[in-house]
Structure formats: structure tokens, C-alpha cells
Amino acid sequence: MQQHISPEPDLRHHGDAEVRGMGAELTDLAVNVRSGTPPQWLRERLAASIETLAAYPDGRAARRAVAARHGLTEERVLLTAGAAEAFVLLARTLEARRAVVVHPQFTEPEAALRDAGHDVERVVLGAEDGFRLDPRAVPSDADLVVVGNPTNPTSVLHPATSLARLARPGRTLVVDEAFMDAVPGEGESLASRTDLPGLVVLRSLTKTWGLAGLRVGYVLASPGRISRLERAQPLWPVSSPALVAAEACSAPPALAEAAHAAHRIAADRAHLEYRLAKFPSVTVCSPASGPFVLVRLPDAAAVRTRLRGLGFAVRRGDTFPGLGPDYLRLAVRDRATTDRFAEALEKALDGN
């Protein structure tokens, strides 16, 4: 493992850039949102919420539902306009002396910290270690540590025991669990833990429920931390439709549906990995646990361009600190889509 502080990668580049404009016609393997979402029952709930738009948003019911979903008290929950708002709130309210972000991971936390004036140190995990975190790699005097689990873009699921070792008095440990509900059983989640000092867990409804445009997520932390973050929010930060979604997606029937989807994603991911294994030049970061896989292949930029010509958008990897131009991230899709993609990839690798 090595530490690296270079800010060269474009931290503001995200997968949606691959499917804007003309890219909207492409089969999307660049954005990690479950296909076929939101489901019809959720669409109906959201449509009905339009009737309430004359009133200011009231987040109490949604907050209670999220708290109950994780077995927490309401004082430990803050609803936000997506996880992105949570990163900004944390960056603006924390007074970190030594902030460390574990990479490769989602770049928005570091971008928010830098925008708020923080100096950010990177702990970069290596491919030789399977991008797995050894807690000893994090400086002992770091008073802010940010890590994703499962991590975007590597799809690595860190053991909860390893992450728990990072928690200590005087340190804020931020764990981004935006993709945890895509992991069957969520066995490595820290969301319900109240015994770890300084723990902050972020969750998103975007990925599993297809609500990127609605902007809804939440923070789980100590009551004191939640109060400080809430004071930094503007009034009514989460819209009424987003609150309806948070409440509905935290209910037992929705959780059962999400659990079923997680198993289906795991099966579809296994099929994607099976098809990728047929290409000797393609190396898959394994074992993968998220609804996406990270692959390494020669001349990835050219392959990505050829894939666009063949009708597929994939996520470039070189904007993630710690990855280079040989990496691509592929969202997990249904088997028929994966089979079509494998045929296109064969052509792209051949230079056709």
C-alpha cells in the first residue's frame, strides 16, 4: 500500500457523463442504478405525493421509518437530498486536523472536503492486495477517515470488523454504504451500530430504487452529530416526494423486495464475471460484492470508445485516485444485456 496526495484525477467526473446527450441512446453500463426502477408501486406513491406539494415538507414520518428500519432512535437519523448533500454537510461542519480518504472510492467526499477548505490525504489501496483495506494503513492520528463499503468502483466489501477497528475517540469515521442494500444480508453493515465512537454512516435510495433524480439519502450518527448537521441544512432540504420515497422504501415490504433484488444482482454479477473470464486480456477485481465490477484491460480508453460505437456506455476508471487508464467499471445488468455486451466487448477488444 502507498500514500498519495496528488489531486490530478477529475474528482467531479461521474458515470452519468457517459450517457448524456447522444449517449442517452446507449445501453447504460456506466451508471450504477438498478435497471427497471423505480418499481410501479413506488411510481404510484410518488405520483400521489404531488397532491401534497402545496404544503411544506414534513419529514417526521420518513425519519421514523428510517430509524425503525435500522433499529435506531429518530435522533440518530438525518434525511438529506442524496448522499451528496451529506458529504457537503460533513465537510462544512467538521473541524478535522488530518483528514484521510481511502481510495479508490467515490470521489465526491474528497471533492466536498477540498471545497470546504480541508487538506485531504489519500490512503491508496493497491490492486496487488485486491484493493482491500488493512486498518493499519490509516495514520493513527487521522481525526477524519472516509471509506466506502462496498466500495465504488472496486466492488470490494470490507469486513465490518476491519472498519470497526478504525473507530476511536476523537476521530470521525465516515462509512459510505450507498450500495450496501445491494449486498445480500448486508452482513458487513455498520448502520445499526451505536457503540463505535465517531461513527457516521451514509445511505442512499438512488441505487436500488432508481431515484437519482429525486435526490434522497440519509445520515446515521450520534444525536449530537445529527443536530450539528441539521443546523447546517437549509429549511426543508428534502422534498415531499423524496420523503414519501424514504418512508416507503424503509417499510418491510420494500425491504423484502430489496433483499430479493440483491440476490438477483449477485446472480447477474456472477454471469457477468463468467462472460468476462472468457477474455484473457480482461482482469476482474474479485470477489465483487456491489452491483458493478471493476476490470483492468490494455488500452481501456480505446476499448471504451469502440464500445460506444457498438452501443454500450461504460465508466472510465482513470478519474478515481489510485486507478489508471487501464480500468473500466461495468454496471451489472440482466443476463441478456450482459450477453449482448460480451459480444460487443469481443469486437471492441479485436479493434473492430
| String of DSSP letters for 285-296 | -SS--SSEEEEE
Query: What is the pTM assigned to this prediction?
Result: 0.94
Say what the pLDDT of residue 15 is: 64
Say what the pLDDT of residue 9 is: 81
Which residues lie below 8 Å from residue 307, measured CB to CB, with a gap of 6+?
313, 314, 344, 345, 348
Say what the pLDDT of residue 18 is: 77
Strand 283-284 with 292-296, pairing: antiparallel
Which residues lie below 8 Å from residue 269, measured CB to CB, with a gap of 6+?
288, 291, 293, 332
Say what the pLDDT of residue 69 is: 98
Q: Is the dihedral of CA 83, 85, 89, 91 positive or negative?
A: positive
Say what the pLDDT of residue 280 is: 97
Tens of pLDDT, residue by residue, the chain (352 residues): 444 444 478 776 666 667 777 667 999 999 988 888 899 999 999 999 999 999 999 999 999 999 999 999 999 999 999 999 999 999 999 999 999 999 999 999 999 999 999 999 999 999 999 999 999 999 999 999 999 999 999 999 999 999 999 999 999 999 999 999 999 999 999 999 999 999 999 999 988 999 999 999 999 999 999 999 999 999 999 999 999 999 999 999 999 999 999 999 999 999 999 999 999 999 999 999 999 999 999 999 999 999 999 999 999 999 999 999 999 999 999 999 999 999 999 999 997 5
Q: Which residues on adjacent β-strands are paired with residue 99?
A: 120, 144
The three three-digit cell numbers of residue 245, written as one number = 420515497
Residues 202 and 66 sit within 8 Å (Cβ to Cβ): no
